[in-house]
Structures are given as C-alpha cells and as structure tokens.
Structure 1
Amino acid sequence: TEEEEKEKKEGRHDEDDGDERGSGGGGSRTMAAICDPTRWPHRIIVLSLMCFLGFGSYFCYDNPSALQQQVKQDMDLNTSSFMQLYAWYSWPNVVLCFLGGFLLDRVFGIRLGTIIFSLFVCVGQVIFAAGALFNAFWLMILGRFVFGIGGESLAVAQNTYAVNWFKGKGLNLVFGLQLSMARLGSTVNMNVMGLVYENIRGLRDGTGYTTLGITLMIAAATCVFSLICALVLGYLDRRAERILKKEVCSTGEVIKLTDVKDFPLSLWLIFIICVGYYVAIFPFIGLGQVFFIEKFNFSPVQASAINSIVYIISAPASPLLGFLVDKTGKNIIWVLMAVIITLASHMMLAFTFWNPWIAMCLLGVSYSLLACALWPMVAFVVPEHQLGTAYGFMQSIQNLGLALIAMAAGAILDSRGYLFLEVFFCACVCSEYSSGEGLVFPGGELNLSTSARARLQKDTLSHSE
C-alpha cells in the first residue's frame, strides 16, 4: 500500500543518516536545527570548530617568545641559538607552501589531511617539550621542525573548510573570525605562559629545564584540543557531504612552477615588500620580551603583555581595516602608509625612551593594515589560473626570509645588541618602502580606487567579448 511504501522510504532515510531531510530541501524537516547542515545552529557549531582548529598551532608557535628569558637561561643558550627555534619552523614551509595544497587535494583529502597536519602540530609540540625536559636542545629543534610541517598547511586546510561551508554566505566574516581566533591564541600564549612557568617553579621549589619542559608540555594540551576539533569537524563534514550530496571540497590551488617565469615585475616587488615587512615583525616579537626587560625595566609578565599588543590589536582591527581597503581601493597608498608607520614604530623603540605602548600599538595597526592591503594585490597582477602558484611562491619566499633573518637577528643581537638590531629592522622596512614606490609605475592599476577598478574590469570584459 501507499502507507507501507512511505514507511519503507522513511526507514531507508533513517538508516542512511539518521535524521536526513527531504532531498533538495523541499521535503518536510525531520532534523533538529542543530543537526541540519543547511541551518545556522549547526553551521555555527562547524564555524566554532574551524576557528579552534588553528588555536593550538598559533598558541604554541610563539611559546619561545613568551618564554624567551626562561628558555635562554634554562637551556643555557645565546640569542643566535634561541632564534633557531623560529628558523627551523620556517624551513619546511619553504617547500610545503607548494606541496600543502597538492597533498590535501590529491593525496590525503581535506578531512584526513587536516587530521594528519593537526597530528604533526601536536607531535611537534610534544617533542619540543620533551627536548626541554631532557635538556636536549637538538630535540627541541626537531620538535619545531615537525611542528612547522603541520602549522602552515593546517591554515590552508582551515581556509578550505571555510570556503566549502560558507561560500556566498558571509565568507569574509568567517575569514575575519578565523584570523581573530588565531590572534587570540597568540595573545593568550604571550600573557599566560610566563605565569604558568612561575607557578610550576613555585610548586617545584626551583628552576631549570624540567620546569620549562613541564610548562611546554602543558601548552601541548591546546594542540590536542585542536586535534579533537579536526576529528569532529571531519566527521561533521563527511556527514554533511552524505546528506547534501556535496562534492568533495578542494583547496582550489593549482601550482605550476613553470608560471614563475611569466610573473610581472610588479609581482616580484610585492614579494619583496612581503619579505621585507614580515621579517621586521615576527623576529622582533620573537626577541621582544628581553628587549622590554632590558631597556624599559619591565618584569617578564609586563614584557610579555606589551609584546602581545600587536596580536591584540590585529584581532579586531583586521576585519575593520579590510573593509576600509575594500571600500576605498588605493592599495599602494595603504601599503606605503603601513610601512611608514612601522618604520616610525621601530625608530621610536630604537632611539627614544618613550612609553613603548605607543610604538607597539602603532605596530599592531600597521601590521593589520599591510596584510589587508598587500595580499589582495596579487590577484590584481596575475591571471586567475596563476593565483595558486603566485600565493604559494609568496609564502615560500616569506618563510625563506623569516628563516634567514631569524638566524641573522640572533647573531646581530649576540654581537652588537638591541640598538643595532633595531637599525637592521629599520633597513628592512626602508627596502620595502622603495619597492612600494616602484609599484606605482609598473602597476598603476594597483593604486586605483574601488570604483575605478570596477570600471576597468567592466571595460576589459566588454572588450574581450
């Protein structure tokens, strides 16, 4: 009978996915909103998992910076050796920027790939902590290398999940929330790890590498939490794929190294700006704690707090400044403004004893502004089919620069001190300002307003048709 056939169909639906709704969304809703992949309560759960997916990675990335003084004392290191902890994070990403998307798309798949890269982050942090526990600096270096294998590729997976779930439905907001959560992880690390170390030292009634190892092992709990998020997110994505008959998501990255020879001059100038800017930010933050202790007589907790202000400001400022750049255009002007503010910040820190909160707040604003204005410019100067290669090459050069400058900064600090190091950072920023000025001539379209760029694209499209 008709009723029996209906019962059989309903039974098959229940057997397939429990509470599946009618195909195409036209049938009656049989799922609770929190279980339905097409409804916001469920999607908010997925978004939360996406945001926490990278929390552990960003929290642990700057563990050495938050514990700079303690790491150098307990492991008996000079600054050059200490900065190896950052250099060895960047080395694997010189190559993995090209291979990460390929591994996610063609080898592992996004779900398994995310879990594998989360495992690398988790295992790398455990090895890093074990190196401190056993007073083996080479083991700490190995841990940072393993950690680096997973860290950058995990960010690619995170973005891929975001596009798959939220494309056309608030994707920019989702990217902004993910960035804010990443900065939150860095900020919490800077302000918490020193206190954790002090509490453990008090409980153990002493200092030493064992205290450092226990502190770093506690930090590894955040990586375990992110791994759990990757497992749950993979299950929910697989379930949604089955219910909604979705295609398997991919990163969308198409890497062809032969495209490099066709890159225009303006793109190479963008690469130079990227490297010159970020090497004046991340190595400085990595060495910032002792700088603020020695020059401004801050306590370790105060030094970590001011060192984290760049991340604190960038969390809310990035979405707002991104909206401003989107509305106005004129990307080169914004980039040059960010470079000038950064140069002024480093000069204040180098040559004055003004309250360092002023310089660090300016550095946080300029850091957010440059990221919002610089990275989208790649899409203005290369065709769409070369975007994957261009962004991969940009990240690769950035990581190569960070690895080399991390080692150079440590050597300069050991031999010359913080004043020479700040002068070195100022020189890096000046080099990128020159590159920014150079962009005005070969890439005049980069400095168009948003409305002018829209008209240009419309005219180009009409001409090609």
Structure 2
Amino acid sequence: MADHEERRSLLGNQDEVSFRGRRPPGKPGTKLPAICDPNHLLHRVLVLVFMCFLGFGSYFCYDNPAALQTQFIKDLDLNTAKFMQLYAWYSWPNVVLCFFGGFLLDRVFGIRLGTIIFSFFVCVGQVIFALGALLNHFWLCELGRFVFGVGGESLAVAQNTYAVNWFKGKELNLVFGLQLSMARLGSTVNMNIMGWVYSKVADLVGSPGYTALGASLMIASVTCLFSLICALVLGYLDRRAEKILHKEEGKTGEVIKLTDVKDFPLPLWLIFIICVGYYVAIFPFIGLGQVFFIEKFNFSPAEARAVNSIVYIISAPASPVLGFMVDKTGRNVIWVMIAVITTLAAHMMLAFTFWNPWIAMSLLGVSYSLLACALWPMVAFVVPEHQLGTAYGFMQSIQNLGLALIAMAAGTILDTKGYLILEVFFCTCICSEYFVCVFLTFSAFDTLNLQKTATSDEE
C-alpha cells in the first residue's frame, strides 16, 4: 500500500494545539473521571485504541487478493495480468488524490467528517469488491478496488492528523510506531487467516468457487465496518474534546501548490526515482508471492501465506527501532543504499537459489523497514518547509502511478515468461536504484554534510 506512516516529517511541523497542560472548564470543585477527561492519559489511551483500529480494516483488506491469489485466479478464471489489475485499480485514484486528500480534510470536510467519509469509501469499496466475486463479475471487482482506493490513502492521512492533534510532543513517535504496528498486524492477520476463512466458507456452501470467494471477501468487509465505527467514535470524542478544551479542529498542514514542482531540486527528483523503483519491487512481489512459494519451494498454501507475510511482521517492531537508529546516526542516504543492497540480495536469493525462503523474506522485511525510515525524511532535507506538502503529495502520486503500471507489467511478465524472469525484472529495478543512490550522494553532498552536522549537534 505505498507506506503512509513515513509522513511524520511533514506532520511534525504542524501547529496543532496539544492537549497537555489544559484543564477542562467546569464548576469549582468538579472533576471529570479520568476516562472522560481529555487531559488525562487514560482518556488519551482510549482515543489511541480507536485511532489504531481506524486503519485496521483498510490494511487488512488491501492484500485480500494476495492472501487468496490461487482462489481468485481459479474461481474467477483469471490470468495473472488480470489478477494484478486489482492492485492497479487501487493505485489509480491515488495518483491524483495524494494531492487533494489533505486539502479535502482541511478545507472541505474537516478532519472528523473527512475521516468518516473516507472510512465509508473503504467499507463500500470492499463490499462492492466482494459482490463482484460473489456474482462472478470481474469488472465489479475492479470498481470495488477503485472505490476502496479512493478512501484508503486519504484515510491514512486522516489517521496521522488525529495522532498529531492528540499526541503532539514526546509521545508522538510512540503513537506513530503503534499505528504502524497495528497496520502491519492487519496485513499479517489477512495473509494468515483468509485462506482458512475461504476453506470454511467453501465447506459451508458445498464446494470452492466464486460464491465461496465472494462470501469470504464479504466476511473480510466486517473489519472495514469496524474501522468505520472507530471513525464515528473518534469524531465524537474529538468534538467533545474541542468543546471542553476550546481547541480548534486539527489540520493536516499539507499545503499543495502544483507550481512548486518546477522548483524542485535534482536531489528530490532522485529521491522520487528511488521511491518508485524500490517499492515496485516489494508490493507487486508480495501480491504474487503465494503461488511463487508454492511452485518453487513446494510449500503448502498456509506455509506460503505465512512466509509471504513475514515482511509485514518484521516491519511492525523493526520500524521504530531502525527509525531511532537512523535519527541517531544520520547519513540517511547511506542507510538507503544499505537497504537497496540487502533488498537486491534477498531477491537474488529467491531467484537463483533454493535456500529456505524465510531467510530472504526476513532480510527483505528488515530492508523494507530501513528504507522507509531513511528515505521519506530525506525530502525535508532537500526542500524548504513551505514545499513539503507538495513534495510529499507528488512523491505519493508517482509512487502510486509506478505501482499501478508495474503491477500490470508484473502480471504480464509472469504469464508470458514465468517467475524467474519476473525476479530478474525486480533485481534490475533494484540495481538501477543503487546507481541512483550513488548519484544522489554526490548531487546532495552539501545537504548530507549539513544533516550529519545537525545530528552531531543534537547529540
């Protein structure tokens, strides 16, 4: 899904009012119970629970196709290229919405209504997706994924805005880490449970097929409904806190000016290239990974789903730790190069050896987490603060454009050439990113030195 948790550099510069240090107004001698007091840690922990589950349904359902790859291809009579359209249709709306999601939250809907609307889009999109499978209409599945994508990326922006609004300060990094962990938990649970759900539904309906597939996806939509309920509860709690604390409704801080694109420096364009070239070798591979592990390593479907989910499992605890390490050491571009090299090593192991794939996938999980921690903050090092909204929006947009195009290309390569050539294609993408990293090191030498100096001064 393109890694929305790495927006913290942008979000951290906002001017939202912290809840700390304020007392709720009331009659002298009255005191709200801790669970009802927006100033109290217990109440904010309650808010954090709903905040974390806000994106659970979106992340759970995003990789439903990957968890049920075999079933989709068989039950709906698809080739791999058509199957990968399910990921492409998620990315298409976000080529544009990454520019306007923050604007809609700030200027049109407001954070509370906007979160509810985007959660509703996610829920409705998943239901349409499930109906498409249930009725054996693939075009309806594609429509469902498009609607799902309209809400998915913007919902992540809303989730981050809520986090800043309630926890800006020393707790914010922990909150972002918890949100990331919950997101990865949703992806992991999906990978490991949807195959079991499908088999149980198939037993109930009498045989596997598109009816069982559609019913399984409809069951998965319950997680999106749960996230919609969390959005409603969060809206109520935030509005209540606004009245008690006389605070303003939170803003994303994303000011998008397309005219700024012409002023982007060369290092920023290199960062964009690295972002696209790296992530297209991760998410499309995970989307196609289940059958790969079954065919090459003779894994059972359950084992294939488990090893395919290890990237998400590792990134949940590793991202905060690696982010802290990058913050302390600086030299982000060096860490990006290390992540690129280790990712290339992981793909080469999967392509050219029969070593236990748990090794390569674990390495891929660590590399993916390291790159996310090191790459996204680099944008703030090479552009002025007033261009951050546009830079991050453009970065997300071209990332989704790349994912949409490569998802279709990967499916076609797999149908015509097989998994080996597909892995060679991914290795080529990663190799090209290494040379871009080297070029970035020289083109942004002064900036990187300043970054190192600033890090040393903080220490």
- For 1:169 and 1:375, the matched residues in 2 are separated by 20
Higher relative contact order (CA 8 A, sep 6+): 2
Contact 1:280 1:428 in 2 (8 A): yes
> Match of 1:108?
109
- The amino acid that maps onto 2:291 is V
Structure 2 residue aligned with 1:189: 190
In the aligned structure 1, how far is the partner of 2:452 from the partner of 2:375?
19
1:32 alignment partner in structure 2: 33
Residue aligning to 1:341:
342
1:456 is displaced (CA, Å) by 8.4
Q: Distance in 2 between matches of 1:171 and 1:217?
A: 35
Q: Describe how 1:276-295 pairs up with structure 2 within 5 A.
A: 276-295=277-296
Local SS of the residue matching 2:152: helix
- Give me the whole-angstrom Cα distance separating, in 2, the residues matched to 1:185 and 1:446: 37
Q: Give the distance between the partners of 2:26 and 2:302, measured in 1 at CA.
A: 54
1:433 is the counterpart of 2:434: yes
Structure 2 SS opposite 1:441: helix
Correspondence 1:171 to 2:172: yes
The answer to whether the 8 Å contact 2:199/2:208 transfers is: no
Residues 304-315 of structure 1 mapped to structure 2, 5 A cutoff: 304-315=305-316
Equivalent AA in structure 2 for residue 243 of structure 1: I
Q: Deviation digits for residues 24-83 of structure 1, max 9, x if unmatched?
A: 799645100000001000000101111000000000000000000000000000000000
Match of 1:409 in 2: 410
2:132–2:139 contact (8 Å) kept in structure 1: yes
For the 8 Å contact 1:343–1:430, the answer to whether it is kept is yes
Q: Which residue of 1 aligns with 2:317?
A: 316
Equivalences for residues 25-174 of structure 1 within 5 A: 28=29, 30-174=31-175
Tell me what 2:267 maps to.
266
- Measured in 2, the distance between the counterparts of 1:262 and 1:251 equals 23
Letter in 1 for 2:134: L
Matches within 5 A, 1:387-402: 387-402=388-403
Q: Which residue of 2 is the match for residue 418 of structure 1? A: 419
Distance 2:187 2:456 in 1: 41
Tell me the CA shift for residue 204 of structure 1: 2.1
Equivalent in the alignment of 1:325: 326
Tell me how far apart the structure 2 counterparts of residues 398 and 73 of structure 1 sit (CA, whole Å). Answer: 30
Do the aligned partners of 1:327 and 1:450 also contact (CA within 8 Å) in 2?
no
Rounded Cα–Cα distance in structure 1 between residues aligned with 2:418 and 2:320:
36
**C-alpha separation between the residues in 1 aligned to 2:307 and 2:319?**
19
Q: CA deviation at 1:441?
A: 1.0
Q: Tell me, what secondary structure is at the counterpart of 1:353?
A: coil
Aligned residue identity for 1:209: Y
SS of residue in 1 equivalent to 2:376:
helix
Name the Cα RMSD after superposition. 1.7
Give the 3 Å change call, closer, same or farther, for CA 356–29 of structure 1 in structure 2.
Answer: farther
Secondary structure, aligned partner of 1:255:
coil
Cross-structure match for 1:301: 302
Where does structure 1 differ by over 3 angstroms across 4 or more consecutive aligned residues? 21-29, 445-451, 454-457
Q: Which amino acid aligns with 1:438?
A: F
Aligned amino acid, residue 261 of structure 2: V
Residue 250 of structure 1 aligns to a residue whose secondary structure is coil
SS at match of 1:31: coil
Q: Deviations over 1:141-180 (max 9, x none)?
A: 0000000000000000000000000011410111111011
CA distance in 2, matches of 1:96, 1:316: 30
Task: Give the structure-2-normalised TM-score.
Answer: 0.93
For residues 266 and 246 of structure 1, the distance between their equivalents in structure 2, rounded to whole angstroms, comes to 39
Q: Distance in 2 between matches of 1:419 and 1:108?
A: 48
Cα–Cα, structure 1 residues 28 and 172, in superposed 2: closer, same or farther, change >3 Å?
Answer: farther
Measure, in 2, the Cα distance between the counterparts of 1:181 and 1:454: 30
Corresponding position of 2:204? 203
Asked whether the equivalents of residues 326 and 450 of structure 1 are also in contact (C-alpha less than 8 Å), the reply is: no
Residues in 1 aligned to 2:130 and 2:24: alpha-carbon distance in whole angstroms:
50
Match of 1:8 in 2: none
Specify the code of the residue in structure 2 equivalent to 1:342: T
1:310-340, CA deviations, whole angstroms, 9 ceiling, x for partnerless residues? 0000000000000000010010110000000
Greater Rg by CA: 1
How many percent of aligned residue pairs carry the same amino acid?
Answer: 77
- Over residues 230-251 of structure 1, what are the superposed CA-to-partner deviations in whole Å (9 max), with x where a residue is unaligned? 0000000000000000011110
User: Could you tell me which residue of structure 1 aligns to residue 15 of structure 2?
Assistant: none
What residue in structure 2 maps to residue 14 of structure 1?
none
Does structure 1 retain, via aligned residues, the 8 Å contact 2:99–2:394? yes
Is the Cα contact below 8 Å between 1:128 and 1:143 reproduced in 2? yes
- Which shifted more, 160-169 or 411-420? 160-169
Q: Structure 1-normalised TM-score?
A: 0.92
Q: Matched residues in 2 for 1:359 and 1:187: separation?
A: 17
Kept in 1: contact 2:54–2:228 (CA 8 A): yes
**Contact 1:330/1:449 (8 A) holds in 2:** no
Aligned-pair CA distance for 1:448: 3.9
| SS of residue paired to 1:84 | helix
Q: Equivalents in 2 of 1:361, 1:455: separation in Å?
A: 32
Which residue of structure 2 aligns with residue 222 of structure 1? 223
Q: CA, structure 1 residues 348+26, in 2 after alignment: closer, same or farther (shift >3 Å)?
A: farther
User: Aligned AA for 2:415?
Assistant: D
Shift of 1:447: 3.7
Alignment partners' CA distance in 1, 2:170 and 2:99: 29
Gap runs ≥5 in structure 1: 1-20, 458-465
Aligned counterparts of 1:22 and 1:330: Cα–Cα separation in 2: 42
Runs of 5+ unmatched residues, structure 2: 1-21
What is the distance in 2 between the residues matched to 1:453 and 1:304?
43
User: What is the CA–CA distance in structure 1 between the aligned matches of 2:372 and 2:355, rounded to whole Å?
Assistant: 27
Distance 2:230 2:201 in 1: 28
Shift of 1:445: 4.0
Distance of aligned partners of 1:241 and 1:72 in 2 relative to their CA distance in 1, 3 Å threshold: same
SS in 1 for 2:136: coil
